[in-house]
Amino acid sequence: MKCNYCERRCELGDGNYGVCRMYREEGGAVRERFPRRWSTYAVSRIESLPFYHAYPGSRSMTIGTAGCNLECRYCANAFVAREDPAAVQDAMYDFTPAQLVRMAAKLGCHNIVFTVNEPTVSLPSLLELGAESRKAGMPLGCLTNAYATEEATDLLAEVFSFVNVSLKGLSRAFCRQYLGIPNAGPVLRNIKRLAATTHVEVTTPVIQSVNDGDIDPIAEFLADVGQGIPWHVFRLLPEYRMKYAAYPHIAAIDAALEKHRRTLPYIYFHNFVGSEWVNTLCPHCGATVIERFSLGCGGDRLDRYHCRGDACPECGYRIAIHGQRVAWNAKEGTE
């Protein structure tokens, strides 16, 4: 039978577990092979994940499972996303969704974010986690490649109230050669679908001389989806099969982004120490409304939050923020 969780639409059965190796066929239904098994749980600043416009300053508990439906040549989490999920089970944690939610609360986290691999490959467990976190009033977010089917995308939107989609590139050659998929059409469709109901940020990992030519068309696509969409242009330091590739050139990428800042006011450029492009400016009056630090390699953090609620303190323009600003030590109410 076919698995319809993602656009791979793999045929399951006879020992075939799909490209992600996370599903099996049983009694005419698609089942998870490793339900409620987690590869990690850790505490992180939400800005590091990155989410810049959701619950600014908050403490997130990050989780993941194993396996992935894409085959990115530069994957930074290949040790768990590209390995055979059966081979890493000894290192996995066994927690019920209710236990995960309790642990997040105990660790002082305001929300839980699925970050390590692709949530589509563990959707039934995440639907259970969604039900538990809703009961506890704990928001759930995720990073996703959005190569899901439309039905699965609606399930993602049901579980997660804030989502960061990795829009890796647009050209067919790039998709085939570097991601192992025929094209990015489903990803573009799903960004629009998610943005209609959910808080969406988008990340594009830029690889020097590989997908930097897609900056213009991606910017145009996002401006069309909505000018309030935050776009993280991420200076990718390739890993896995591309670990000897050149690091992207900061000045060249900044120059390529400059002309799009008028149509997309929330463009960020980071993953290197001391980036100047991590603050939020008011699209109306230009005041700096949120200041952040970038320490590189996912080490971003909130510095100062000048908004009043979600409004610019100078002109009152509403900044696109999902949820409220949350103190890192929310329990104590301090930074």
Considering the rule CB under 6 A, would residue 10 count as an interface residue with ligand SF4?
yes
Contact flags string 67-106 toward ligand SF4, x per CB under 6 A: --x-------------------------------------
The answer to whether the beta carbons of residues 45 and 109 sit under 8 Å apart is no
- Which residue is at the shortest CB distance from ligand SF4? 18
Stretch that binds ligand SF4, among 7-15, 41-49, 80-88, 126-134 (CB under 6 A): 7-15
CB atoms within 10 A of CB 260: 19
Distance CA 253, CA 171 (A): 18
**Nearest residue (CB) to ligand SF4, 120 versus 203:** 120
CA distances from 112 to 138, 220, 293, 295, 325 (A): 7, 31, 22, 22, 16
CB atoms within 10 A of CB 315: 12
Single out the residue of 60, 77, 120, 279 in contact with ligand SF4 (rule: CB under 6 A).
120
Taking the complex as a whole, the smallest distance from the CB of residue 81 to ligand SF4 amounts, in Å, to: 12
**Nearest residue (CB) to ligand SF4, 5 versus 51:** 5
Taking the complex as a whole, the smallest distance from the CB of residue 6 to ligand SF4 amounts, in Å, to: 3
Taking the complex as a whole, the smallest distance from the CB of residue 13 to ligand SF4 amounts, in Å, to: 11
Taking the complex as a whole, the smallest distance from the CB of residue 124 to ligand SF4 amounts, in Å, to: 11
Stretch that binds ligand SF4, among 17-25, 81-89, 163-171, 319-327 (CB under 6 A): 17-25
Query: Which residues in the 22-61 window bind ligand SF4 by CB under 6 A?
Result: 22-23
Single out the residue of 49, 66, 116, 121 in contact with ligand SF4 (rule: CB under 6 A).
121
The answer to whether the beta carbons of residues 225 and 199 sit under 8 Å apart is no
Query: Total number of residues binding ligand SF4 (CB under 6 A)?
Result: 14
Q: Pick the closest to residue 230 from 264, 273, 185, 194 (CA basis).
A: 264
Phi-psi region at 180: left, alpha or beta (left = phi > 0; alpha = psi -120 to 50): left
Considering the rule CB under 6 A, would residue 9 count as an interface residue with ligand SF4?
yes
**Nearest residue (CB) to ligand SF4, 37 versus 235:** 37
Q: What is the largest CA-CA distance in the chain?
A: 64
Taking the complex as a whole, the smallest distance from the CB of residue 240 to ligand SF4 amounts, in Å, to: 18
Distance CA 155, CA 245 (A): 36
The answer to whether the beta carbons of residues 136 and 101 sit under 8 Å apart is yes
Distance CA 189, CA 150 (A): 8
Contact flags string 267-286 toward ligand SF4, x per CB under 6 A: --------------------
Q: Pick the closest to residue 280 from 238, 252, 256, 311 (CA basis).
A: 311
Site residues, ligand SF4 (CB under 6 A): 3, 5-6, 8-10, 18-20, 22-23, 69, 120-121
